[in-house]
């Protein structure tokens, strides 16, 4: 997916991935990660997710990264948060009390920017990439997450030939092959959520698994 694809999605407000409520897996599994309440949480490809508000309400500092300036401006406007903007090279930093959203391409973020994070949260980021770019994203995530830092990863898996992504199917085998070199991986849950996803039902996708993993960056 090139940047233009996402800019057009935001411009046309074709944002079916955006959830009007906090992700249930986040609510269910976040505390089991055992992270410090005031630690900073990195949210790659954050969109305007309300999950960031949930994390902030738990006491975390939140550091998101998002390509679309529209998404970031909508996030602050819809949550009635006053913000400030600063530019640094090819990125803009939008900040409010507990939130800092970096507008720009995740592939151009320097690891020094995320050096002080104490956790991360990936919902609809890994699964936003087609296969070729997903491997590149996995390497970038590994570069941005410091040693021993844990996070929650939420994925979808389904027979890829039944539906054109995004979201793209990511299997447990893919996770093992491409993330295990960098992260300790623990499967927290895997459930068939087909009945809750009319787009997949309408396309006659036979099954749809949503999984939550705890990842910890290897030292």
Ligand X SMILES: C[S@@+](CC[C@H](N)C(=O)[O-])C[C@H]1O[C@@H](n2cnc3c(N)ncnc32)[C@H](O)[C@@H]1O
Q: Where do contacts with ligand X occur on this chain (CB under 6 A)?
A: 6, 17-18, 45-47, 49, 65-68, 71, 105-107, 123-125, 128, 166
Residue 219: CB minimum distance to ligand X, A: 27
Residue whose C-alpha is closest to residue 156's, from 202, 198, 209: 209
Q: Looking at beta carbons, which residue is closest to ligand X?
A: 47
The residues near 70 (Cβ < 8 Å, ≥ 6 apart) are: 7, 10, 11
Is position 66 annotated in a ligand binding site? yes
Q: What is the DSSP string of 110-128?
A: -GGGGTT--EEEEESSGGG
Is position 174 annotated in a ligand binding site? no
Alpha-carbon gap, residue 114 to 76, rounded angstroms = 21
Is position 6 annotated in a ligand binding site? no
Nearer to ligand X by Cβ, of 66 and 100: the residue is 66
Nearer to ligand X by Cβ, of 8 and 218: the residue is 8
Is position 10 annotated in a ligand binding site? yes
Residue 30: CB minimum distance to ligand X, A: 14
Radius of gyration from C-alpha coordinates of the chain: 17
Alpha-carbon gap, residue 86 to 3, rounded angstroms = 22
Residue 77: CB minimum distance to ligand X, A: 16
Nearer to ligand X by Cβ, of 46 and 138: the residue is 46
What residues are designated binding site? 10, 45, 66, 123
């Amino acid at each position: 997916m090139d940047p233009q694809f996402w800019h057009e999605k935001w411009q046309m407000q074709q944002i079916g991935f955006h959830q009007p409520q906090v992700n249930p897996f986040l609510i269910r599994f976040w505390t089991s990660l055992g992270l410090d309440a005031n630690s900073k949480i990195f949210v790659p490809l954050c969109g305007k997710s309300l999950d960031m508000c949930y994390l902030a309400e738990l006491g975390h500092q939140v550091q998101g990264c998002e390509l679309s300036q529209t998404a970031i401006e909508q996030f602050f406007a819809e949550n009635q948060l006053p913000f400030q903007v600063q530019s640094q090279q090819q990125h803009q930093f939008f900040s409010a009390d507990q939130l800092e959203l970096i507008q720009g391409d995740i592939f151009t973020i320097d690891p020094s920017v995320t050096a002080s994070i104490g956790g991360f949260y990936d919902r609809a980021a890994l699964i936003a990439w087609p296969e070729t770019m997903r491997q590149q994203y996995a390497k970038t995530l590994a570069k941005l997450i410091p040693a021993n830092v844990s996070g929650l990863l939420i994925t979808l898996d389904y027979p890829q030939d039944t539906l054109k992504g995004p979201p793209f199917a990511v299997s447990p085998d893919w996770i093992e092959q491409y993330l295990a070199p960098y992260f300790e991986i623990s499967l927290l849950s895997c459930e068939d959520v087909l009945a809750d996803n009319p787009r997949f039902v309408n396309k006659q996708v036979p099954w749809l698994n949503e999984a939550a993993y705890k990842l910890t960056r290897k030292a």
